[in-house]
Homo-oligomer: A and B are copies of this chain.
């Protein structure tokens, strides 16, 4: 009896001991949690927005679309309380989760939406997210009374230095809503001012070598003032050395990817260098560009076309002042929200000296070009621009072509309207006539989403197979 009691007491002591040890573990763990709560989990006002953003990001759209925080919202099935944005599908995909492919859908290779870089930002979600507080930069101006974030300006200079694509020393910087706004600001600033001269000067003639980016013509015509007018192809004005001329030089060129040089020279010629595509994704960087007026944008650098952010590097102070005036009078500068976001994106781009994003972008664009040229090489009906490989000072090696656009020519004599030829093959390009050349040319966009590019290849394949069959 005593033995039993002694045994039971022993067990009960062991049991008590175990229980006490467990107590101790829990207590230590509890205090560890309380401690960490105030450092790791100590979010207060930003938590709700963070949860909302992550819920939206977690919505599955089958890899053929995505949901956005500001998308049209719908009630979840069986849940009358929680409304979440619906999937926005890539073109040719449909259904609540974008899983339905629309058969017979046209391959849209028209616009320049740089969505090939979207996966890069999804892969770098943590470093590229920003939280915007309700009271962030409500004022018209930064602390230095300007419309331009000094931090962002400094980052842009650093970015050019590490990329080696532009000289920023002794340059002023002006921000704009994409290169779009800056292009016209530059035309304004370089045209003879009616106030600077005693007599009324004739307006500046604005030109660009064909094929040229259609916006140059559309914009200069639309905003036609007493100070400037669009005059088309630069080649036609080579011998007009006594007139006020403004030439757009696009390098790499949109549509054909060539590193254009100015056509016009002389004391009355001003040049606007449009370098929107002068990044290692699209072109070898032979040397930093070092011109009087150079325009860049994030659209083709990071892929954020929708943010509308670009900048101009300007040597001459008077030109800088005039472009600055334009920005003030047109829009009072660029949205401070956009400048905050651009700063964050720049920081991610520069994290490892730019290698990560430029290699990512280059590999995609190079592969796409290879795939495209392989298909087109099977055809006698279509040809592409020639791009020679060149040494790139950024990658420190010779690199294969990786242009943003294919500049397609219809070679058959009867295929005068190449846009219609491709459209009959269910491919939408951009008509050559918009670029100031004959309708025998069409631009095909290569920088859209993978879905768009895959469908483009597929349709081209079909078109060329049917060509070969009809040749037999």
Residues on A close to B: CB < 8 A? 5, 9, 12-13, 15-16, 19-20, 22-23, 26-27, 29-30, 33, 40-54, 57, 66, 68-73, 88, 111-115, 117-118, 121-122, 124-141, 143, 149-152, 176-178, 180-181, 184, 215, 218-219, 222-226, 303-309, 325-326, 329-341, 343-345, 348
Q: Which residues of B contact A124 (CB under 8 A)?
A: 134
* CB < 8 Å neighbour of A224 from B13, B33, B44, B225: B225
Q: Which residues of B contact A219 (CB under 8 A)?
A: 329-330
Q: A46-B54, A340-B69 are in contact. Are A178 and B121 (CB under 8 A)?
A: no
Question: In whole angstroms, how far apart are the Cα atoms of A150 and B141 in the complex?
Answer: 29
Question: In whole angstroms, how far apart are the Cα atoms of A30 and B118 in the complex?
Answer: 40
Q: A70-B149, A111-B140, A138-B118 are in contact. Are A43 and B49 (CB under 8 A)?
A: no
Q: Can you report 15 A-B residue pairs in the complex whose CB atoms are below 8 A from each other?
A: A45-B54, A48-B129, A52-B131, A71-B143, A72-B151, A111-B141, A113-B140, A132-B341, A134-B345, A139-B306, A222-B326, A222-B329, A224-B226, A308-B333, A335-B335
Chain B CB within 10 A, most for which of A88, A139, A305: A139
Specify the chain B residue showing the minimal Cβ separation from A340. B70
Q: Which residues of B contact A73 (CB under 8 A)?
A: 151
Question: In whole angstroms, how far apart are the Cα atoms of A33 and B112 in the complex?
Answer: 48
Nearest chain B CB to A38 CB, angstrom units = 11
Q: Which residues of B contact A33 (CB under 8 A)?
A: 33
- Determine whether the beta carbon of B50 is less than 8 Å from that of A46: yes
- Determine whether the beta carbon of A46 is less than 8 Å from that of B41: no
